[in-house]
Amino acid sequence: MQYLSRNYSKLSDRILRKSLMSKVCSVQDSLRFFKDGQALGWSGFTPVGYPKAIPIALADRVEQTGEKMQFELFIGASVGKETEDRWASLNMIKRRWPYQTGKNIAKGINTGKIQMGDIHLAKFAQNLAFGFFTKDKGGKLDIALIEACEIDDEGIILAGSVGATQEICSIADKIIVEINTTFRSFRGLHDIEQDLKPPFRRPNLISRVDDRVGTTHLKVDFDKIVAIVESNKKDNGRPMSAPDKTSEKIADNILDFFQNEVKHGRLPKNLLPLQSGVGNIANAVVAGLVKGPFKNLKVWTEVLQDTMLDFFDNGKLEFATSTALTFTPDAFKRLYENWDFYAPKICLRPQQITNGAEQVRRLGVISMNTPVEFDIYGHANSTLVGGTRMISGLGGSNDFLRNGYLTMMHAPSFRKTKTDPFGITSVVPMAPHVDHTEHDLDILVTEQGLADLRGLAPRQRAKEIINKCAHPVYKPILTEYYEMALKDCLARKVAHQPQLLDKCYKMQLNLAKNGTMRLDEW
């Protein structure tokens, strides 16, 4: 594989298929293709490789003229707040699938102004290609708006993510390309295989994290390309805070567990391919692995965060597959300055592949993700605070948690509120919304300890979770609830998974009323 560290600053140097030079226009000229009510697909994934110049210009136009422009927006995952979150503040989004971040867009969803659907990311990509989300438009999108590094006779070289871009381009009537000349080309990093619809699908022949089965280009119908514009705007990568003591303790608990699994022969010495979710806790867990005893590791995940570069630097990580490079600006700078070292160790694939059940199960991925909360029987909520308020979305966590060799969720045992430093417990009697069921989760971890739920019946799980994961402030409260529920349900001969429906959400109700989940009595 040839990894060309092209660093061309001129747009004409990035368009190697010269017949497409006639499609080059200014950002302002490209706006004529956009009309109120259209269904748009963007490239990008959490948040890198997304279009910037045109979305920002459209927002400027709406803000300056007061023109009504509202769109249906389909993107592989979240993108920069300067685009979709600003659009939400200007009432420019009617529908948004399947994952987002930003205060304005979350507010729009939770006040009913924006219709948002929540779905597994691997399933989103294929269902989009099947036309399920745009049935009223014949299963089509009006425009695919994508960011790229280059275009040549073989296709498009994408930027720092793949996401659902292949599916978006396949069903779009028109394609508009933003070629970003502020960073070097990502040529060589991608592996994109053409996806066929049932009943013509074939097995995906990936049996190793570093296997390649596709091409480095996104294959598109060049006749669909109606405009090419230059962008000089950088990705607005998510900031990462330094690991705190709580996150480090969670990481320590996980490392101890891995060592015990190796000791008992349930994991090889170099573990199995690792998947780590998005956020500061996930970043801290990887940081713990960087310092840990394991070597010759591989990663199969949906996003690579900053600490993955540290992992490569110390020689413990051999290869990583992802659908996006979710780096901060400083990490991108490291990547570009050491391109020849990092590039051969990274592969970017479509989210339908990185998150696909077939690959995750065959490779034996170890999955680690962060929920909002989990209950005493092992059901977890990742999306809806209080069961009703959407945060961001399910994302790809359950793609891995349903199919991994080991499936794990980690969270701090408590979070503070304005009125109580221990105001919120992450362990509750019954989750008010369930994204991940007891059938999918093997391990739950907090800084207090690790609950290994494999092979345990529900009542055994409840004791293990309370004893190992709950904070000492909440452990007696949860124990009292469980014992009351058990006594009541045994008396009624319904005690497989004891609950008291008149009390199981009392902690959440007390939080809403009094600012704390601590109860004086049940």
Catalytic residue numbers? 302
Q: Give the H/E segment covering residue 461.
A: helix 458-469
Q: Name residue, tokens 């901060």.
A: 328
Residue in 75, 316, 349 with CA at minimum distance from that of residue 212: 349
Torsion of CA 160, 404, 444, 295, to 10 degrees: -70
Alpha-carbon span 124 to 218, nearest angstrom: 19
Q: Name residue, tokens 């590039």.
A: 343
Q: What angle do CA 157, 158, 161 make, to 5 degrees?
A: 150
Residue in 88, 53, 57, 86 with CA at minimum distance from that of residue 70: 88
425 phi/psi in degrees, rounded to 5: -95, 140
DSSP letter (8 states) at residue 486: H
| Paired tokens of 359 | 């690959």
Residue in 432, 424, 431, 426 with CA at minimum distance from that of residue 511: 424
72 phi/psi in degrees, rounded to 5: -95, 130
Alpha-carbon span 449 to 71, nearest angstrom: 46
With beta carbons less than 8 A apart as the criterion, state whether 300 and 204 touch.
no
Residue in 479, 159, 213 with CA at minimum distance from that of residue 323: 159
Residue in 50, 52, 7 with CA at minimum distance from that of residue 27: 52
With beta carbons less than 8 A apart as the criterion, state whether 101 and 48 touch.
no
Q: Give the H/E segment covering residue 157.
A: strand 155-158
3-state secondary structure of 329: helix
Q: Is the peptide bond before 98 cis (omega within 30 degrees of 0)?
A: yes
407 phi/psi in degrees, rounded to 5: -120, 125
Q: Is the peptide bond before 472 cis (omega within 30 degrees of 0)?
A: no
Q: What angle do CA 136, 138, 139 make, to 5 degrees?
A: 95
